[in-house]
């Protein structure tokens, strides 16, 4: 859980901040002076320090500098104080402090700040879970980068001394750090190749070349960032995290789009293709000139199931039949709910005879199938048509006509043209 240390002389504001932190699902520790603050820092895993500028032991001028010169210097510090003096703010900015929240009873700004730092902490964890490829022919630079990564507890990093060595690995990474001057292949060519292959992955160019035109060309080639050597460790990781934030947002958007695409295509009850999707799939098969047949299948006397057992049981029957259809007609076949209790099956590479046999086997399998508390077996009727150049509408209409002929001639049968 995210942990906060609040250092302040005021009992009132310590209590106020405690309430805000609890609302944000954070653990909060309080200190009123420098000694207490360092005791907590030395014994607890603190993610954020929120400090006032007035303490019991009059260490007002000492505390922040001492924290920033201690082993705890990497913990972000935010100032929470009624002191709005610009000179004082400039002084603390030199210590790396950028957040100043004015003390008041309105805690919304403080709550937003804590939320921001929690997100940053999550970003740090995301960075550690990514995979990195460093491509640099300079052994010293590789060792320096290795040391920097280890200092940030990032270990999932592979180092390559040439483009050829990297290409031999033939593995995808989340982040590529590419030196511009490489033996055998130019760094910009490597970036072009990587960007062509991986549209969203992070590519960072590193070089001691500081020409505007070069930087422009590298960015246009597909690099997300350009960092000039010698690399400043803190700036390097700040910029890396910024790129990771964008990368993560793109990945989240991609996952949401997949979920949305799934919801658009899938029938919510049966979890098979819905009407539009299965019809579109028939059209796709026709466009691709596949050999295939389709079957229109309908449950017999389904209205009586709903009337006798209720719609909830009726829904369970539809789900059960859908699952059985998917198992009986696995990919490259496709199954969709055409509407109500009517199903459309696409059987790839199946002639009319093959398709009829598959459908007959399924029809017969229902004779022994037990579905919940339904006493009598569920039966189906159907019509099967082979694709011989018809349009989508013609193909489906023919199957539908055959289905209703099967219904009119006694049900529980499959007809072909």
Structure token pair of residue 391: 């349009």
- The per-residue pLDDT for 149 is 92
What CATH code is assigned to 3-126? Answer: 3.40.50.2300
Spans of the chain below 50 pLDDT: none
The Cα 37–Cα 51 span in angstroms is: 10
Closest-CA residue to 346 (of 268, 416, 281) = 281
The Cα 365–Cα 320 span in angstroms is: 13
* Beta carbons of 27 and 57 less than 8 angstroms apart: no
Query: What region does 339 belong to: left with phi over 0, alpha with psi -120 to 50, or beta?
Result: left
Fold of 275-416: Alpha-Beta Plaits (3.30.70)
Which residue's entry shows tokens 């789009």?
257
Query: Whats the size of the chain, residue-wise?
Result: 417
What order of strands is seen across the sheet that includes strand 334-339? Answer: 334-339, 342-348, 292-299, 380-386, 414-416
Q: Please, which residues bridge with residue 101 across strands? A: 80
The Cα 406–Cα 403 span in angstroms is: 5
Dihedral pair phi/psi, residue 98, rounded to 5°: -120, -10
* Beta carbons of 391 and 378 less than 8 angstroms apart: no
Following CA atoms 137, 143, 149, 151 in sequence, which dihedral angle do they give, to the nearest 10 degrees? -170
Buried-state track 143-155, b at ≥16 Cβ within 10 A, e below 16? ebbeebbeebebe
- The per-residue pLDDT for 251 is 79
* Beta carbons of 145 and 136 less than 8 angstroms apart: yes
Per domain, the residue ranges of the chain are 3-126, 130-254, 275-416
- The per-residue pLDDT for 62 is 82
Mean pLDDT of the chain: 90
Signed CA dihedral, 188, 194, 199, 205: sign only: negative
Domain 130-254 has CATH 3.40.50.970: no
For 302-344, how does the pLDDT look when each residue is reduced to its tens digit (9 = 90+)? 999 888 889 999 999 999 999 999 999 999 999 999 999 999 9
For 34-72, how does the pLDDT look when each residue is reduced to its tens digit (9 = 90+)? 899 999 999 999 989 998 887 877 777 788 888 888 999
Closest-CA residue to 77 (of 86, 65, 87) = 65
């Amino acid at each position: 859980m995210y942990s906060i240390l609040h250092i302040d002389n005021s009992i009132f504001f310590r209590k106020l901040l405690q309430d805000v932190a609890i609302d944000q699902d954070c653990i909060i520790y309080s200190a009123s002076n420098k000694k207490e603050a360092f005791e907590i820092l030395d014994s607890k895993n603190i993610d954020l320090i929120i400090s006032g500028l007035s303490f019991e032991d009059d260490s007002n001028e000492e505390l922040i500098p001492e924290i920033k010169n201690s082993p705890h210097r990497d913990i972000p510090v935010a100032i929470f104080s009624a002191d709005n003096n610009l000179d004082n703010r400039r002084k603390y900015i030199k210590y790396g402090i950028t957040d100043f929240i004015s003390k008041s009873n309105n805690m919304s700004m403080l709550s937003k700040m804590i939320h921001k730092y929690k997100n940053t902490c999550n970003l740090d964890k995301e960075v550690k879970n990514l995979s990195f490829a460093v491509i640099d022919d300079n052994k010293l630079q590789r060792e320096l980068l290795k040391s920097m990564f280890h200092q940030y507890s990032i270990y999932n990093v592979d180092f390559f001394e040439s483009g050829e060595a990297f290409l031999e690995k033939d593995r995808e990474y989340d982040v590529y750090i590419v030196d511009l001057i490489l033996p055998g292949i130019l760094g910009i060519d490597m970036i072009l190749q990587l960007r062509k292959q991986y549209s969203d992955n992070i590519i960072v160019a590193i070089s001691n070349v500081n020409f505007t035109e070069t930087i422009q060309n590298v960015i246009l080639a597909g690099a997300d960032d350009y960092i000039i050597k010698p690399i400043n460790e803190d700036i390097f990781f700040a910029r890396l995290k910024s790129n990771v934030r964008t990368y993560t947002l793109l990945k989240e958007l991609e996952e949401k789009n997949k979920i949305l695409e799934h919801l658009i295509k899938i029938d919510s009850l049966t979890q098979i293709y819905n009407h539009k999707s299965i019809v579109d799939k028939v059209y796709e098969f026709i466009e691709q000139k596949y050999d295939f047949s389709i079957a229109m299948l309908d449950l017999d006397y389904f209205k009586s199931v709903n009337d006798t057992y209720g719609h909830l049981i009726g829904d369970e029957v539809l789900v059960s039949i859908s699952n059985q259809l998917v198992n009986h007609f696995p990919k490259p076949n496709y199954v969709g709910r055409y509407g109500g209790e009517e199903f459309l099956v696409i059987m790839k590479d199946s002639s009319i005879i093959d398709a009829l046999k598959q459908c007959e086997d399924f029809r017969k399998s229902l004779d022994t199938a037990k579905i919940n508390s339904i006493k009598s077996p569920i039966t189906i009727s159907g019509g099967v048509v082979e694709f011989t150049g018809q349009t989508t509408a013609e193909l489906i209409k023919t199957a539908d006509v055959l289905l209703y002929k099967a219904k009119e001639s006694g049900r529980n049968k499959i007809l072909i043209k």
